[in-house]
Amino acid sequence: MAMSAGPTEDGAPLSDINTTPLVDVMLVLLIIFLITVPAAIQSIPVQLPKVVFEPTVTKPENVSLSIRGSGDNCEIYWGKTQVNAQELIDRAVVKLKAEIDKQGGPNAAGLELPEAHIRGDSNTPYRCIGGAIYQMQRAGFARVGFISEPAPGTARPPRL
């Protein structure tokens, strides 16, 4: 490998750039990054759920809430009847007690509590939906879920 250090034979200055030191530095930096990046990224291995929309099986004892609102106004509907926050918790307590009594009381074996299903308008402030969730949990509903409209072709048949 030859190397020239001065002007060329015709007297013009040397215009070739020696890239060997640049390549050496880049390779060293690449090796450093390959070694340090896995050490810098520390994460706990977690298996995340695979999300697929599953149609819900609506049982007659489940409570269906529809919520919409804008600004400071929140509208909560129990079925098709509009209720305020106090009426919501009162109805929820009565519904839960009636279901428990129908199944044989609080100490009955295999007690299946009803669920609350919330349909929230996409423009509804979170405080409206969060307030309804809080009221339903305060009344004793352990399972509060959201009903959504999946994109076409993403739903699969319910498991039986």
In this structure, what CATH number is given to the domain that contains residue 100?
3.30.420.270
Across 2-6, 48-52, 96-100, the highest mean pLDDT is recorded for: 96-100
In a domain, 94, yes or no: yes
The two tokens of residue 73 are: 């106004």
**What's the pLDDT score for residue 1?**
46
pLDDT digit string, tens, across residues 9-55: 777 777 778 889 999 999 999 999 888 887 766 666 666 556 566 66
Average pLDDT over residues 107-126: 84
Q: Establish if 74 belongs to a structural domain.
A: yes
User: For the chain, how many structural domains are there in total?
Assistant: 1
- Asked if residue 109 belongs to a domain, the reply is yes
Residue 132 lies in a domain: yes
Q: Report pLDDT digits (tens) over 64-87.
A: 899 988 778 888 999 888 999 899
The total of other beta-carbon atoms located within 10 Å of residue 25's CB is 10
Write the burial class of residue 121 (CB in 10 Å: 0-12 exposed, 13-18 middle, 19+ buried).
Answer: middle
The structure tokens 């034979």 sit at 9
What would the pLDDT profile of 131-145 be if each residue is shown by its tens digit?
A: 999 999 999 998 888
Q: Is residue 113 within 8 Å of residue 96, measured between CB atoms? A: yes
In this structure, are residues 88 and 64 in contact, taking their beta carbons and an 8 Å threshold?
Answer: no
Does a structural domain hold residue 90? yes
For residue 59, what are the CA distances in angstroms to 30, 38, 63, 103, 112? 60, 50, 9, 15, 11
* Domain hosting residue 80, numbered range: 63-146
